[in-house]
């Protein structure tokens, strides 16, 4: 029942053999949807995983509600930082159709031969990541992979591709990966803020001018999500590949 089906972004997935034929990530994942002012998270745990998961469902419902609140506060700060005011992005994400993902990375006897999660930019808008104290998240900056040391009471916040497009490229989505180790399993919780499915991703006019022409075409989040689920494994070039893909399909 909980098994994730090809093309869907919810459910349990291990080894990803159903989706990819090479570079399989060394991880298991459980992904589910979140929408504000609903009990969809709690209902998923009870409805798909069973009555014995009711308590866990309550906890993750509360966690996702808190992540939603934090995401909208961060969107206010990002709007102020770009000079377009606190309301613009906060209102854009007031209704959202976000994804919560639980990552489990088993120990690996030959960790140098694989990756927990390969190099990528999150195609989503904003990621709030809670990692445990094992360590393994790395970000590629200034020419090399740098480990993000776990901090107990801190979250890691990533800009994703969709927000890069919304900010007309002023913010860049962050290239990152997760390595594994021989001794200890690692777990992380990733809350991916996503707009409502059919909302058009278009930067505010104030961020487009002669010096800053449009960096990406208009698109809906549902079309980018479908691209990553059915046509293209998200990597560090997803948005460029997606832009070419939609312009190609429009021209056809
Ligand atoms: C919309 C999504 C697709 C992925 C989960 C969320 C945000 C991150 C994406 C992902 C983790 C990027 C690396 C490749 C991927 C296939 C994975 O390793 O899980 C991506 C997720 C996915 O397509 O399931
Ligand atoms: O587990 C981590 O530290 C990173 C996971 C990640 O990048 C993702 O799920 O998109
Ligand atoms: Fe990621």
| ipTM of the prediction | 0.99
The verdict on the CB of residue 137 being under 6 Å from ligand 2 is yes
- Across 10-45, b (16+ Cβ under 10 Å) vs e yields bbbbbebeeeeeeeebbbbbbbbbbbbeeebbbebb
Map residue 5 onto helix, strand or coil.
Answer: coil
In this structure, are residues 103 and 114 in contact, taking their beta carbons and an 8 Å threshold?
A: no
Give the pLDDT confidence of 93-140 residue by residue, as tens digits: 999 999 999 999 999 999 999 999 999 999 999 999 999 999 999 999
Any idea which of 48-52, 71-75, 148-152, 245-249 has the lowest mean pLDDT? Answer: 245-249
> Is residue 111 assigned to a domain?
yes
Q: Is residue 1 part of a domain?
A: no
Confidence band of 13 (pLDDT split at 50, 70, 90) = confident
Question: Does 4 reside within a domain?
Answer: no
Ligand 2 contacts CB of residue 103 (under 6 A): yes
- 162 falls within a domain: yes
Query: Tokens 């001794």 sit at which residue?
Result: 183
Mutation choice for ligand 1 from 21, 201, 228, CB with most ligand atoms inside 8 A: 228
- Which CATH number covers residue 83? 2.60.120.330
2 located within any domain: no
Residue 131: closest CA among 109, 116, 114: 116
Nearest ligand to the C-alpha of residue 120? 1
Domain extent at residue 146: 11-251
* CA dihedral angle for residue 63, residue 68, residue 74, residue 78, rounded to 10 degrees: 150
d(CA 175, CA 122): 8
Helix (H, G, I), strand (E, B) or coil at 27: coil
Nearest CA to ligand 1 atom 14: 234
Count the domains in the chain: 1
Within a domain: 135: yes
Residue 42 lies in a domain: yes
6: in domain: no
């Amino acid at each position: 029942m909980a098994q994730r089906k090809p093309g869907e972004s919810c459910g349990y997935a291990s080894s990803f053999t159903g989706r990819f034929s090479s570079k399989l990530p060394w991880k298991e994942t459980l992904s589910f949807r979140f929408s504000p002012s609903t009990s969809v998270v709690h209902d998923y745990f009870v409805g798909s995983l069973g009555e014995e998961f009711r308590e866990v469902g309550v906890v993750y419902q509360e966690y996702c509600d808190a992540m939603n609140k934090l995401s909208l506060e961060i969107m206010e700060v990002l709007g102020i930082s770009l000079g377009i005011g606190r309301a613009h992005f906060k209102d854009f994400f007031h209704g959202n159709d976000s994804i919560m993902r639980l990552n489990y990375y088993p120990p690996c006897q030959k960790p140098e031969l694989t990756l927990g999660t390969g190099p990528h930019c999150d195609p989503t808008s904003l990621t709030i990541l809670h990692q445990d104290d094992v360590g393994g998240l790395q970000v590629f900056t200034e020419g090399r992979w740098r480990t993000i040391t776990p901090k107990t009471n801190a979250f890691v916040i990533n800009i994703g591709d969709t927000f890069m497009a919304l900010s007309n490229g002023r913010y860049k989505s962050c290239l990152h990966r997760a390595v594994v180790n021989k001794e200890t399993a690692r777990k992380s919780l990733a809350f991916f803020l996503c707009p409502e499915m059919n909302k058009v991703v278009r930067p505010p006019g104030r961020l487009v001018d002669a010096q800053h022409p449009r960096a990406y075409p208009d698109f809906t989040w549902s079309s980018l999500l479908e691209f990553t689920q059915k046509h293209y494994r998200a990597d560090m070039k997803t948005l460029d590949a997606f832009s070419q893909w939609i312009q190609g399909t429009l021209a056809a």
